[in-house]
Each structure stands twice: as C-alpha cells, then as structure tokens.
Copies of this chain bind each other. A is one copy, B any other.
Amino acid sequence: MPGRLLVVGGDAAGMSAAMQVRRRQPDREIVVLERGRWTSYSACGIPYLVGGLVDDVGDLVARSPETFRRDHDVDVRLGHEVRGIDLDAREVEAWDDEGGRTVRVGFDELHLATGARPLRPPLPGIDHPMVHGVQTLDDAVAVEARVAGARRVTVVGGGYIGLEMAEAFVRRGREVTLVEAAGQLMPTLDADVAAPLVPALEGLGVDVRLGTPLEAVEDGAVVAGGERIPTDLVVLGLGVRPNAELAADAGVEVGVRGAIRVDRRQRTSAEGVWAAGDCCESHHLVARAPVHVALGTVANKQGRTAGINIAGGYATFPGVLGTAVTKVCDVEIGRTGLSLAECRRYGFEAVEATVEGETRAGYLPERKPITVKALAEVGTGRLLGAQIVGTEGTAKRIDVLATAIQAGLTAAEVVDLDLGYAPPFGPVWDPVHLVARQLLRALVEGPERATGTLDRP
C-alpha cells in the first residue's frame, strides 16, 4: 500500500494528478495544500469574468474543494501556504491562514504544482494596492473588487493576458490604456503577424502605446515612456515566473527561469518528488531544449502524466511546441514551433514562406483573408514553426501545422496532407497546402523566392 501523496497546489497541474492517482489507487491517502480558496479553476477564464461574459467566479471552477473531498476522498486543505520543504524528514511546513498557525504535513510522495506568479519589475510604487496580477482566482476576486470603482485602467504588457484583459475592461465600459515596452504587441510573434492587433484594439477604443515601458506607479497614475497616465487600476501582463524557490531551497534541481527540472515522466531530481504545470520546465520538441511555458493545456497534460506515474502507471509528457492562440475582437492569431529569430538562436538554418489564403472558396461571399507564415529547415525540409493571423475561424487552423510539426513532417509531406475541402471551408488548396508549396519552392530555389503569391490552380 503506497503511502501518503501530498500535492502542493490545487489547480489543474495538482488536481489532475490527484484524480489520476485516485482513479488508479482508490484507497491511497491524498492530501492537497492550496494557498487560495479554490481548486481546479480556469485562470484563462479570468478575462471573460472581468469582461462580464461569465457571471460568477464560481463558474470558472471545474471541480470544487467540496467535490474533491466528498466524491473523491481527497483531503483538500485551503488557505494553506507551504513555506518550506524538508526532503529528509519527508514533510512540509505550511502557514494555515484560518488557523493562524504553522503546521507540518508529512508525505511519502510529493507532487509540486505551485504554479507561477506575475512578473513585477522592481519599479517605484509597483506594490501600490491598485496594481494587480491576474494569475489566480483570488487575483480575479481582487480585481473584481476594485474594478467597480475604477474608471481608468492601465494594462501593462501586450502579450496574451494583456490583450485579453484590455478587451475585457473595454467590455466593462472602462477607459483602457495598454502600454508595451516593445515596438509591437505580442513580441513573441513576428511583427507583421502581430500588426493587425493594434487596429483591432484601437477599434475597441483601447489607447495602445507601443515602445512605452512602465517606469513607476503613483497614486492615481502610472508613469510610462516618460508620460503620466492617470489610472485607477493597473493590471500586470508582463509574463510570469515559476513558483519554484521552495523546491530549489530544498535541493530540487531547477533550470530555465528557475523552473523545476523534470524528466518525461514529470519526476524531479529528488526521489519521490514530482512536479507539473507552471512551476516546472517543459522540453521544446523542435528546439530540443528546456523551456518554461506557462499554459493551461500544458499544466493539465503534465498533471495527468505525473498522476499516472505516481500511481505506478507509465505515461510521458514528451514536450511542447509553444502552440498558442488568441483573439482580440475579430482578429485571431495562432503560433506554433519556432519563429525565424528562435530558429537562429537554436542554430537552425531555415527558409520562410508567407501566403495569403482565404477562409472560403474564391467565388463565395463572406470569405475572409488568412495569412499563414511557416518555416522549414534547410536540408531536411522539416517544418519548424508557423504563425497565422486572420478573422473568424483562423486561429485553430494552427493545430494542423502543430500536428505536422510534432509528427516531424516535411514541407513536401504537408503538401500531400489529405485535408478536408468544401467551398464554405476554404479554397481547394488549403492555406496550409499553399504555404507548404511555397516552402518547397524556397527550399529548392532559395529563400528570396519564398514570399508572394502562388501560381494556381
């Protein structure tokens, strides 16, 4: 009979592991320590809560602490913040907020799912109470409490979270300014792919300021790019940092950005200690290097993998491509694999191709443009990455390219893919086919031929 499993963190990476263990080991003792008040929630849903599309914070909870306790015999303890890990003594020390005391909880196996926290650059006034991250449901509750009295909101950072929060605050009728230090939104995308996001946000009424780094927070204002911007609420969307210091202090190996290092079964360097989700590294399948990707999909898959293994089964999480999609107003964007800049950083020589496709056959009304950009490795012809931008129905098309990249397909093999066709869904040569044909041409004729329109049919 395996001993107590202690899970630190009650969101996806922790609770999906707990559920896999419960499924396979009905009698095993499982204790979960969660710092906040919630379990198994969708942090990705916070913008829709703030934007008013979701009525109640509880709607974002997939499975409540009560459900875990009652239906699945999981001993969930809320308001418990772990503050130390003793691997030799096999116990953790936690602050029990309700009890107002420090407790010690022993374990036989430990699963770390401590998540990440928003980056908070060390600027004057950054700890002002109007400055919020949006990483946990408790953050969401805090933002909700403040938004009622806020007329002007400043979103700091033009990544996924920043864009979604900016749109959300507009939907709530607030005056929104978005400041981004880089010269474009979504700096992880190519500038041309990200370009349509600026008019989309401006069309919603957002005051978008590029090349405008946050410099200070004052009472009733932020200072960014040398200007004072009056504001009642500041939301940070500058990325996250893994909550892995406790693990590192306990002697667990950490890597990229300080994230916990794990193998393909989600084992850490310490015997009987596992990790999953935003607190740990992932293996990038194209770069073949460790990366830190804080996304709900990854957290769920890693948690599932950890749980199966903890329960004595065998499952692996081979890695990530960095696939991500988002939507601002009617502009949809997707990316997967490496960008050209990342290819160079990792030592790939690549050709790039860009095509303009359409969402429906050329003779049908209501068709919309789609831009697809893709990269292939010189020599092997293997697909290395792709980005896509367009309107409705665009973003999830990145999944075909992600699947092709994950399967190691070459541009020639992508041309041969038997994809679905009917006039309401696209032209007879799908944009994915077209970009692969351009890549083939670029591989043969050289990169300068890679971009442009393609002879068809």
Contact = CB atoms under 8 A, between A and B. Distances in A.
Interface of A: 12, 15-16, 19, 23, 40, 42, 44-45, 48, 53-54, 59-60, 62-63, 160, 164, 285, 295-298, 300-301, 303, 316-327, 334, 336, 361-365, 393, 395-400, 402-404, 406-409, 413, 415-426, 428-430, 432, 455-457
A425 B327 contact: yes
Contacts of A426: 396
Given A400-B403, A423-B42, A457-B15, A418 B365 contact: no
A53 B365 CA distance: 7
A264 B421 CA distance: 22
Contact of A407 (B59, B301, B409): B409
A397 B399 CA distance: 9
A430 B297 CA distance: 9
Nearest to A46: B423
B402 A404 contact: no
B457 A297 contact: no
Nearest to A392: B393
A62, A160, A409 — which one has the most chain B CB atoms within 10 A of its CB? A62
> What is the copy number of this chain in the assembly?
2
A420 B334 contact: yes
B424 A327 contact: yes
Given A45-B363, A403-B407, 17 more contacts: A16-B457, A40-B457, A42-B361, A42-B363, A48-B363, A160-B422, A164-B422, A300-B457, A316-B416, A317-B416, A325-B420, A327-B422, A336-B420, A395-B420, A398-B420, A403-B419, A404-B407
25 contacts: A12-B428, A12-B457, A45-B363, A48-B363, A53-B365, A54-B364, A316-B416, A317-B416, A319-B418, A323-B420, A324-B421, A324-B422, A325-B422, A325-B425, A327-B425, A336-B418, A395-B420, A395-B425, A399-B420, A399-B430, A403-B404, A406-B416, A406-B418, A407-B407, A407-B409
A366 B417 CA distance: 32
A455 to B, nearest CB: 6
Which 4 pairs between the two chains have the least Cβ-Cβ distance?
A407-B407, A325-B420, A321-B418, A403-B403
A321 B23 CA distance: 36
Contacts of A457: 12, 15-16, 19, 40, 62-63, 300, 303
